[in-house]
């Protein structure tokens, strides 16, 4: 058995927008068939997507729920750029599709455009240039201000925010910022003092935003926050349209509360309401943040190389909805993924209940598994929910599917000194608790214990397995072996419990599955078989 998610099989990729030619070349050199079709309508994309394992887009293609629903074979959506708000990530996740972006491909280009707009706002460069083209010479009309000594507020201190900060510091600007994720000590190391938004607004002469667009950042700069700013504050948005409330920005410009705005992005692109764009104190661009030769080449190369590395099982970079997979792309991790899924399948077979699982509890032991509970939980749920179909759960969508079906997932780790590491999977179903304890030895996933029965010999978790529960008896093994022989099923090995009293679980490795488990009923109390 091998986890469905590593490596991922990608044979055909559709590129739906203009991407650097290196993207196609890299994919083709690695045996992936590539089709380029630009400017497709939504209906055309829906008709085409069913034939592809991968889709590469920029920002114009809207990968909606309808598109994803029609993608019967799709395994990865690659965004040649940073933002993925044109992709319905939640729907893709539930369908087990990896969504990845190129987090650093356009960093420098976006940062440089931000700095360009900041400088242009400070000196009215655009307005002066337009005036000159009209053969006017109005030196006094375009009196500007120095950036030196001014305070720049940076909302969002990721890669682009950092690059903007270091560049504007060279102009002598004081840089302050806000970010709920980047630790203050990290941003301080590159010269940005972090503070709350309430503290930040009134201090800024200039504000630039560099956050994703999400519910918590939509309308971050609005009527209320503009009112808290210095009168005449200038703002820049090269991130995503909607982070700055466009109607509130226009009101602030008209009242003078905002002294100017540099906008590269809009809620609707192209905008339908041009009043904001036409305001005399606005400098606007048609979403040019990543529109440099260097950024496009970098993004095209990056997305292709990320897909190739994923296909080859080398690494998973830029996955925005499958972080749990990032640590599974090693041979050691793969064996633990196999273990987690196999134990889930064993518990599914041996619980023999059609009732839904109430909870799944994963407990890891040993230093080698300190950071493994995440993917082991996903792997175990894959095994529990698998129906043996190609489109069943995988490591991307296992936990969201579990949540949808009402399963509570709990993860814990014990620092018990366990050299090899062990994983315990506990499931609750119909009021009963079932447990499995396993490990990986010599790169082989093994089962050590099932529902309290500790096996004398660890069970290798591959091939055909027959589990049964019965009271110990000298005649048990010969009697079961006789039934198998009568059904022409060969036994490879047998492992009994270390306990000698009471009902215990036993396991046999068999060459093929038994046609009718009912033949074992006179000998055992419970029986289950599966292929792992």
Q: What one-character-per-residue DSSP string does 115-158 give?
A: HHHHHHHHHTHHHHHHHHHTT---TGGG-----TT-EEEEE--S
Annotated active-site residue 279? The verdict is: no
Peptide bond into 270 cis (omega under 30): yes
Q: How many CB atoms lie within 10 A of CB 312?
A: 13
**SS3 category, 342:** helix
Contact 202, 230 (CB under 8 A): yes
Annotated active-site residue 287? The verdict is: yes
Reduced DSSP (H G I as helix, E B as strand, rest coil) percent helix, strand, coil of the chain, to 5: 35, 25, 40
Contact 449, 437 (CB under 8 A): yes
Q: Give me the sign of the Cα torsion angle 266, 268, 270, 274.
A: negative
Q: Phi/psi at 308 (nearest 5 deg)?
A: -65, -45
Spatial separation of the C-alpha atoms in residues 529 and 18, rounded to whole Å: 52
Q: What one-character-per-residue DSSP string does 58-96 give?
A: -SSS-B-HHHHHH-SS--EEEESSS--TTB-HHHHHHTT
The dihedral over CA atoms of 523, 525, 528, 529, expressed in degrees to the nearest 10, equals: -10
- Strand locations in 376-463 (E): 408-414, 422-429, 432-441, 444-450, 453-460
Strands 233-237 and 432-441, sheet pairing: unpaired
Among residues 58, 79, 124, 240, which one is catalytic?
240
Tokens standing for residue 86: 């044109």
b/e for 16-50, b at 16 or more Cβ within 10 A?
Answer: bbebbebbbebbeeeebebeeeeebeeeebbebbe
Among residues 287, 338, 345, 361, which one is catalytic?
287
- Taking each helix axis as running N to C, give the angle between helix 107-123 and helix 293-311, from 0 to 180 degrees, rounded to the nearest 10: 150
Spatial separation of the C-alpha atoms in residues 232 and 225, rounded to whole Å: 13
Q: How many CB atoms lie within 10 A of CB 274?
A: 10
- Taking each helix axis as running N to C, give the angle between helix 107-123 and helix 159-169, from 0 to 180 degrees, rounded to the nearest 10: 40
DSSP 376: H
Tell me the C-alpha to C-alpha distance, in Å, between residue 409 and each of 62, 378, 405: 33, 9, 11
Annotated active-site residue 240? The verdict is: yes
| Sequence-separated (6 or more) residues with CB below 8 Å from residue 451 | 350, 434, 435, 436, 469, 505
Among residues 29, 146, 269, 403, which one is catalytic?
269
Catalytic residues: 240, 269, 287
């Amino acid at each position: 058995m091998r986890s469905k998610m590593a490596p991922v099989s990608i044979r055909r990729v559709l590129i739906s927008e203009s991407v650097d030619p290196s993207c196609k070349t890299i994919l083709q050199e690695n045996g992936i068939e590539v089709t380029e079709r630009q400017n497709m309508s939504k209906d055309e994309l829906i008709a085409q997507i069913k034939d592809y394992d991968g889709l590469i887009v920029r920002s114009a293609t809207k990968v909606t729920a309808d598109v994803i629903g029609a993608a019967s074979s799709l395994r990865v959506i690659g965004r040649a750029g940073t933002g993925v708000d044109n992709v319905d990530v939640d729907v893709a996740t539930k369908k087990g599709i990896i969504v990845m972006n190129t987090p650093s491909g356009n960093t420098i280009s976006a940062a440089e455009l931000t700095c360009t707009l900041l400088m242009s706002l400070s000196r009215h460069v655009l307005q002066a240039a337009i005036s000159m083209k009209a053969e006017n010479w109005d030196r006094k009309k375009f009196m500007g201000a120095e950036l030196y000594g001014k305070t720049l507020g940076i909302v969002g201190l990721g890669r682009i925010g950092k690059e903007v900060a270091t560049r504007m510091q060279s102009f002598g600007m004081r840089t302050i910022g806000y970010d709920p994720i980047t630790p203050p000590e990290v941003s301080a190391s590159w010269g940005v003092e972090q503070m709350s938004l309430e503290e930040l607004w009134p201090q800024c002469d200039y504000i630039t935003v560099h956050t994703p667009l999400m519910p918590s950042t939509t309308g971050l700069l609005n009527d209320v926050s503009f009112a808290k700013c210095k009168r005449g504050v200038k703002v820049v948005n090269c991130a995503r349209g909607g982070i700055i409330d466009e109607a509130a920005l226009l009101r602030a410009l008209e009242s003078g509360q905002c002294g100017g705005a540099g906008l590269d992005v809009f809620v609707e692109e192209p905008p339908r309401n041009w009043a904001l764009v036409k305001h005399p104190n606005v400098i606007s661009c048609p979403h040019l943040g990543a529109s440099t030769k260097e950024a496009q080449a970098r993004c095209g190369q990056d997305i292709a190389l990320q897909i190739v590395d994923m296909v080859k099982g080398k690494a998973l970079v830029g996955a925005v909805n499958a972080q749990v997979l990032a640590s599974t792309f090693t041979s050691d991790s793969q064996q633990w993924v196999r273990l987690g899924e196999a134990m889930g399948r064993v518990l599914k077979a041996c619980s023999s209940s059609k009732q839904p699982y109430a909870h799944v509890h994963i407990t890891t032991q040993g230093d080698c598994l300190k950071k493994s509970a995440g993917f082991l939980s996903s792997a175990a749920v894959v095994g529990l929910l698998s129906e043996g179909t190609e489109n069943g759960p995988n490591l991307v969508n296992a936990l969201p599917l579990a949540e949808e079906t009402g399963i509570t997932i709990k993860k814990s780790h014990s620092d018990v000194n366990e050299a090899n590491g062990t994983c315990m999977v506990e499931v609750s179903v119909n009021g009963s608790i079932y447990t499995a304890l396993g490990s990986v030895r010599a790169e082989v996933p093994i089962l050590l214990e099932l529902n309290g029965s500790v096996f004398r010999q660890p069970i290798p978790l591959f091939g055909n397995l027959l589990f049964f529960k019965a009271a110990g008896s000298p005649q048990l093994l010969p009697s079961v072996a006789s039934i198998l022989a009568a059904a022409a099923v060969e036994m490879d090995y047998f492992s009994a419990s270390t306990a000698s009293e009471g009902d215990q679980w036993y396991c046999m490795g068999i060459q093929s599955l038994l046609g009718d488990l009912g033949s074992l009923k006179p000998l055992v109390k419970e029986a289950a078989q599966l292929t792992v």
